[in-house]
Chain A
Amino acid sequence: MIDWLISPLVDFGFMRRALVAGLALSLVAPPLGVFLTLRGMSLVGDAMAHAVLPGVAVGFLLAGFSLPAMSAGGLIAGLLVAGLAGGVSRLTGHREDSAIASFYLISLAAGVMLISLRGSSVDLTHVLFGSILAVDSTALWLIVGVSSATLLILAAIFRILVVECLDPLFLRGQGVRGGAVHGLFLGLMVLNLTAGFQTLGTLMAVGLMMLPATAARFWSKRLEGLMGLAIAIGMLSSVGGLLLSYHAGLPSGPCIILLAGGIYLLSALFGRYHSVFARWRRRVQPMLPPDAHG
């Protein structure tokens, strides 16, 4: 058993790099996911993951399979979609999520078109679903750099994000521009999606963001608890998924995300709060006495 866990990491450099990449991503993507779920933006992450695609494709067309080029392309495309969606929603008064939905669809179609114009279908699979084997030192530096920067920025804007989620007008009254914070937050999300696509693929990268966050909500009602649990679930999925992928010869991205998905399903069934089991148990208990007002 221990051999099953350790030997791939001891024997192969690419597994060690993949492990570090996975752990680094698991440290920052889940907290971003927690904020996304709390801000009612769960599907925005998904939309942005699709939006990143044409940029990655352009990077691929220009520079071949180069991670920095593809990441830069993805980052530009993601920020462009976020910026355009924010602009359109501000100018027209439409809700931002509908604008994001529109732009990501345009972006996704453009990306698929670009990739099919140039590359083979193998390339498309690679971009969509990632490959852990291809994490070289450049990729690792990029991922670790992005994670560290995200962690620092998230720490710096943490209090603003918390206060703004609850009551945006309070901060506005204090002279903090909510739009700027929101933009920075979306930027961080795009940055992490582009960092994650190498190992997980553009479509799966968002999984490491959302699934640990949604699973954690069944276990904790406190923000620190949600963050800590989401990170733990993300790390567990990353390590477990990698080993599973190695031993069973399966693609790494889906392995990691399916593992996280499994944890989500178990949490939804047996979690401490609001899970199926918790609700069932609550129903058979006698009613609590009415809460006395202090």
Chain B
Amino acid sequence: MKPVLTLESLSLAQGDRLVLENVDGEFTSGSITALVGPNGAGKSTLVQGIMGVLKPIRGRVHCAVPNARRAWLPQQLALDLSFPMSVEELVMSGCWPTHGSFRRYGGTEYRRGQAIMHRLGLQAFEHRPLGELSGGQRQRALLGRTLMQEAQLLLLDEPFANVDAATVDILIDVLRDMAREGVSIIIVLHDHEQLMRLADRVLLLDRGHGTWTTPAALGTASPTAGALFSTAPASMTGEQAS
């Protein structure tokens, strides 16, 4: 299958610090790839590089998916969730690729939005302001936006942090469905059990280098597997009832 995203000896730096060196890889349509590695290994840096926010210092990122169909679910902490916007408005903003700044949302879009919110178990919260949602409900609303966007490449940065167990189950189901429909998914993960449930392949980042492996191999082969998963801050693991 033709890859939708190819990394060719990619090297990325943050400021004058080299974070990743010579990372190679191919991501096919419908695959779910977990990015794993200790804190500071460059997982978020790689996500930024793939999204084109960070320019490579060597090598290149070749992406067959147009910008408008690449979606990025950032860590929740990066968002201003006190903004007076409802769940429905957030989900509908995923219409950007087709509607941009000016076009009015029509009945078709609203019905699609309703279906998406229903699928994510958000139908009771559609008019709730984001600021009044729990971490899990917000994460579902954010995923709703990427569904609305009809993303073909989806990057998620620690989507299960600060999220309840019920939401983790819903998110994993929806992500699996998306992959089945051909979306290529790249996901930064910390939890081995979630990785086993979700990922097809693993890109292990450590000390600036990338190694490809499988979820099963990661769990059994390496005696130090536990050390490869960076420990999330206590505040996040507290609610991560998985």
Contacts and interface: CB of A to CB of B under 8 A. Distances in A.
The answer on A and B forming one complex is yes
Contacts of B238: none
B122 A167 contact: no
A152 interface: no
A204 to B, nearest CB: 27
B72 A173 contact: yes
Contact of B67 (A158, A175, A225, A294): A175
B70 A173 contact: yes
A171 B51 CA distance: 12
B22 interface: no
A173 B51 contact: yes
Question: 4 tightest A-B contacts by CB?
Answer: A294-B121, A166-B83, A223-B84, A159-B101
Interface in A82-135: none
Contact of A221 (B74, B84, B122, B124): B84
Interface residues of A, number: 29
A165 interface: yes
B113 to A, nearest CB: 15
Given A157-B101, A163-B96, A165-B80, 7 more contacts: A156-B102, A158-B101, A170-B145, A171-B96, A173-B51, A222-B84, A291-B134
Interface in A205-231: 220-223, 225-226
B90 interface: yes
Contacts of B137: 293-294
B221 interface: no
Contacts of A157: 101
A293 B71 contact: no
B184 to A, nearest CB: 15
Contact of B80 (A166, A170, A174): A166
22 contacts: A157-B101, A158-B101, A159-B101, A166-B85, A166-B130, A169-B72, A170-B96, A173-B70, A173-B71, A174-B67, A174-B96, A175-B67, A175-B68, A222-B84, A225-B84, A226-B84, A291-B134, A293-B134, A293-B137, A293-B166, A293-B167, A294-B137
Nearest to B68: A174
Contacts of B96: 163, 170-171, 174
Contacts of B227: none
B174 to A, nearest CB: 14
Main secondary structure of the interface of A (DSSP, over half): helix
Contacts of A177: none
B125 interface: yes
B153 to A, nearest CB: 10
A173 B152 CA distance: 13
Interface residues of B, number: 39
A167 B85 contact: no
A292 to B, nearest CB: 9
Interface in A23-75: 38, 40
Interface string B177-203: 000000000000000000000000000
A283 to B, nearest CB: 18
B134 to A, nearest CB: 6
Contacts of B136: 293
A160 interface: yes
Interface of A: 38, 40, 156-160, 162-163, 165-167, 169-176, 220-223, 225-226, 291, 293-294
Interface string B111-146: 000000000011111000111001011000000010
Contacts of B86: 222
B67 A222 contact: no
Contacts of B1: none
B234 to A, nearest CB: 21
Nearest to B72: A173
B199 to A, nearest CB: 23
B122 A294 contact: yes
A156 B100 CA distance: 11
Contacts of A171: 96
Contacts of B125: 294
Contact of A173 (B67, B124, B167): B67
Contacts of A294: 121-125, 137, 166
B79 interface: yes
B93 interface: yes
Contacts of A160: 101
B150 interface: no
Interface string B135-177: 0110000000100000000000000000010110000000000
A148 B81 CA distance: 31
Contacts of B164: 293
B77 interface: no
Given A173-B51, A222-B129, A165 B72 contact: no
